[in-house]
Amino acid sequence: MSQKKLPIDYTLLFLLFGLFSFGLLAIYSGSGQYAADDPTYFIKRQLVFIVIGLIAMMVVAFVDFELLEKWTWLFYLAGIMMLLAVEVIGIERNGSQRWLDFRFIELQPSEFMKIFLVMHISALLAKAGKYRLGFKESLFVTFKIFAYTAIPLYLILNQPDLGTTLMILFSVVGLILISSLSLKIIAIIIGTGLLGLGTVIYLFLYQIEFLETHVPSHQLARIYGWLDPQGHSQGFGYQLQQALLGIGSGQLSGSGYTDGYQVQSGRIPEAHTDFIFAVIGEEFGFIGTSLLVIFFFLLIYRIITIAFQANSLFGVYLCIGVIGLLTFQIFQNIGMTIGLMPITGLALPFVSYGGSALLTNMLAIGLVTSVHLRTKTYMFGNEESIE
């Protein structure tokens, strides 16, 4: 009698607990300025979020991901309805209306939409098959992909939430690049993206008046603060400047746990959420941040391995979509903290404080685990081709 395989990938679980440990330490240290009455307030809530996230991951892992393939449109519609609800009854914070208040918890629907959209686009591409499509067929599939993507992107950008918008775009384009769509279509998409980027750079350098007229002032201010943090130290440049001072002062081994001057003095805003990497950099130094990056690298590498081993085309696309979402979040969050990227409101996956982001990332890991558990290996190689 064969033993039933438990829905656990011990490698993923080990890496997740390593990231959780970094997060809990940094949240406790960085949240003191926000919870003077109870220094453990945020860390206790984060522990609850972690437990809920692990349960959600296990539940999703139990479900055969191939059963979800036919019903991804229902998840997509649910995500759209949640985004529309934000437009009507969403609560506003720091100038953005992104959350739904359920009294006991506040949820950010855009976080769930990114998973639902990846699932739906993965199903569309899997249906297209593994063989290279012709130009006309690819054109129709591409139109459907961008139509399904445009609706949630518009609603999310209207909140406004540029970071999540870019993350979703990055993931969808990543799925297209590894798909069976015509190489001409892929070349056109890449060319259009490069042309758009070049146009934005040109307008910023030579036609700034045009951008100031057509781009919201707070978004331009973020770019100014990124390019010249010292010149905009009283605005959006303040966060970056203080984060750089904190990370730089950490040097090799850090200033010591809960002994970071920039963090403990409250000079780094949102130290337990968006700028948590600055806490780790200042108090654990280059050694601590390097170890954190290694954990992230191993996590992404593990998901890539699962994608390569998958027997299902839908499973491959799911893994690639999750890789796109996580990779963008990691690069953007760390990049904005050290001045490589403009500042956005994206959390550092599995490390930053927050319920919605952690829960949706755990759901994504649950999907990857489901793919891994249902991947079959054969004595004489992978005889079963991906269908």
Q: Give the pLDDT confidence of 167-201 residue by residue, as tens digits.
A: 999 999 999 999 989 999 999 999 998 998 888 88
Is the overall model pTM greater than 0.95, yes or no?
no
Is 269 domain-assigned? Answer: yes
Helix (H, G, I), strand (E, B) or coil at 68: helix
Sorting pLDDT into bands at 50, 70 and 90, what band is 2? very low
Is 5 domain-assigned? Answer: no
Number of neighbouring beta carbons within 10 Å of residue 320? 23
Whole-number average pLDDT of the chain: 87
Number of neighbouring beta carbons within 10 Å of residue 330? 22
224 has a pLDDT exceeding 90: no
Is 383 domain-assigned? Answer: no
Give the residue among 164, 189, 191 at the shortest CA–CA distance from 179.
Answer: 189
Is 4 domain-assigned? Answer: no
Is 384 domain-assigned? Answer: no
Beta bridge partners of 91: 99
Q: How far apart are CA 264 and CA 228, in angstroms?
A: 25
Give the domain extent around 89. 10-373
318 has a pLDDT exceeding 50: yes
117 has a pLDDT exceeding 60: yes
How many helices (H) and strands (E) in the chain? 15, 3
pLDDT of residue 377: 62
Write the DSSP string, 171-205.
HHHHHHHTSSS-HHHHHHHHHHHHHHHHHHHHHHH
Is 386 domain-assigned? Answer: no
Q: Two tokens at 286?
A: 């280059």
CA dihedral 109, 114, 116, 119 (to 10 degrees): -170
Omega before 160 within 30 of 0, i.e. cis? yes
pLDDT of residue 7: 55
Q: Among 290-299, 314-323, 343-352, whose mean pLDDT is lowest?
A: 343-352
Give the residue among 300, 301, 298, 296 at the shortest CA–CA distance from 351.
Answer: 296
Q: How far apart are CA 259 and CA 367, in angstroms?
A: 39
Sorting pLDDT into bands at 50, 70 and 90, what band is 281? very high
148 has a pLDDT exceeding 90: yes
Count up the domains in the chain and report the number: 1
Give the residue among 351, 237, 368 at the shortest CA–CA distance from 306.
Answer: 368
Sorting pLDDT into bands at 50, 70 and 90, what band is 36? low
pLDDT of residue 271: 87
Is 266 domain-assigned? Answer: yes
Is 300 domain-assigned? Answer: yes
pLDDT of residue 1: 40
